[in-house]
Protein backbone atom coordinates (compact mmCIF):
# COMPACT_ATOMS: atom_id res chain seq x y z
CA UNK A 1 0.00 0.00 0.00
CA UNK A 2 1.40 3.39 -0.97
CA UNK A 3 2.00 6.13 1.58
CA UNK A 4 -0.69 8.24 -0.10
CA UNK A 5 -3.29 5.47 0.30
CA UNK A 6 -2.32 4.99 3.96
CA UNK A 7 -2.65 8.70 4.70
CA UNK A 8 -5.87 8.96 2.72
CA UNK A 9 -7.34 5.97 4.57
CA UNK A 10 -6.38 7.42 7.96
CA UNK A 11 -7.83 10.82 7.09
CA UNK A 12 -11.02 9.20 5.81
CA UNK A 13 -11.41 7.14 8.98
CA UNK A 14 -10.85 10.20 11.19
CA UNK A 15 -13.37 12.22 9.19
CA UNK A 16 -15.97 9.46 9.26
CA UNK A 17 -15.55 8.99 13.03
CA UNK A 18 -15.99 12.73 13.57
CA UNK A 19 -19.01 12.78 11.26
CA UNK A 20 -20.63 9.81 13.02
CA UNK A 21 -20.10 11.45 16.43
CA UNK A 22 -21.60 14.73 15.21
CA UNK A 23 -24.56 12.96 13.63
CA UNK A 24 -25.23 11.02 16.83
CA UNK A 25 -25.25 14.30 18.79
CA UNK A 26 -27.77 15.75 16.33
CA UNK A 27 -29.96 12.64 16.60
CA UNK A 28 -29.82 12.78 20.40
CA UNK A 29 -30.85 16.44 20.33
CA UNK A 30 -33.72 15.61 17.96
CA UNK A 31 -34.93 12.88 20.33
CA UNK A 32 -35.16 15.45 23.13
CA UNK A 33 -37.29 17.99 21.24
CA UNK A 34 -40.79 18.00 22.69
CA UNK A 35 -43.65 17.07 20.39
CA UNK A 36 -45.62 20.10 19.25
CA UNK A 37 -49.37 19.81 19.50
CA UNK A 38 -51.32 20.72 16.40
CA UNK A 39 -53.92 23.42 16.90
CA UNK A 40 -57.48 22.16 17.16
CA UNK A 41 -59.70 23.06 14.23
CA UNK A 42 -63.45 22.90 14.47
CA UNK A 43 -64.86 20.29 12.11
CA UNK A 44 -63.03 18.37 9.40
CA UNK A 45 -60.12 19.96 7.54
CA UNK A 46 -59.92 18.98 3.90
CA UNK A 47 -56.49 18.66 2.35
CA UNK A 48 -56.38 19.80 -1.27
CA UNK A 49 -55.45 16.96 -3.64
CA UNK A 50 -52.39 18.88 -4.87
CA UNK A 51 -51.00 18.93 -1.33
CA UNK A 52 -51.63 15.20 -0.95
CA UNK A 53 -49.34 14.61 -3.96
CA UNK A 54 -46.37 16.41 -2.41
CA UNK A 55 -43.63 13.88 -1.60
CA UNK A 56 -42.67 13.35 2.01
CA UNK A 57 -39.25 14.42 3.31
CA UNK A 58 -38.32 10.69 3.47
CA UNK A 59 -39.30 10.16 -0.18
CA UNK A 60 -37.29 13.21 -1.26
CA UNK A 61 -34.26 12.11 0.75
CA UNK A 62 -34.34 8.53 -0.53
CA UNK A 63 -34.73 9.73 -4.13
CA UNK A 64 -31.75 12.08 -3.75
CA UNK A 65 -29.53 9.38 -2.24
CA UNK A 66 -30.61 6.87 -4.88
CA UNK A 67 -29.61 9.29 -7.63
CA UNK A 68 -26.30 10.10 -5.91
CA UNK A 69 -25.43 6.42 -5.44
CA UNK A 70 -26.15 5.70 -9.13
CA UNK A 71 -24.13 8.73 -10.20
CA UNK A 72 -21.12 7.71 -8.10
CA UNK A 73 -21.30 4.12 -9.41
CA UNK A 74 -21.44 5.40 -13.00
CA UNK A 75 -18.52 7.78 -12.45
CA UNK A 76 -16.46 5.07 -10.76
CA UNK A 77 -17.06 2.67 -13.64
CA UNK A 78 -16.16 5.36 -16.18
CA UNK A 79 -12.93 6.31 -14.37
CA UNK A 80 -11.87 2.68 -13.93
CA UNK A 81 -12.33 2.11 -17.68
CA UNK A 82 -10.53 5.34 -18.51
CA UNK A 83 -7.61 4.50 -16.22
CA UNK A 84 -7.39 1.01 -17.76
CA UNK A 85 -7.01 2.64 -21.18
CA UNK A 86 -4.50 5.21 -19.90
CA UNK A 87 -2.38 2.55 -18.16
CA UNK A 88 -2.48 0.37 -21.26
CA UNK A 89 -1.33 3.29 -23.45
CA UNK A 90 1.45 4.11 -20.98
CA UNK A 91 2.68 0.51 -21.09
CA UNK A 92 2.58 0.53 -24.91
CA UNK A 93 4.51 3.79 -24.97
CA UNK A 94 7.15 2.44 -22.58
CA UNK A 95 7.40 -0.79 -24.56
CA UNK A 96 7.80 1.13 -27.84
CA UNK A 97 10.49 3.36 -26.30
CA UNK A 98 12.45 0.27 -25.14
CA UNK A 99 12.26 -1.30 -28.60
CA UNK A 100 13.70 1.84 -30.16
CA UNK A 101 16.66 1.99 -27.77
What is the model's pTM? 0.67
Compute the residue count for the chain.
Answer: 101
Q: Give the domain ranges of the chain.
A: 1-34, 54-101
Nearest Cα neighbor of 78 from 70, 67, 66 is: 70
Q: Quick one: DSSP state of residue 40?
A: P
Q: Per-residue pLDDT tens, the chain, 101 aa: give them.
A: 899 999 999 999 999 999 999 999 999 999 999 988 877 877 787 777 877 789 999 999 999 999 999 999 999 999 999 999 999 999 988 887 777 76
Amino acid sequence: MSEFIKQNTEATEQYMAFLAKTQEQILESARQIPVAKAPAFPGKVEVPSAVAEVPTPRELTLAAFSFTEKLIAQQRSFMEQYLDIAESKAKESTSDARKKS
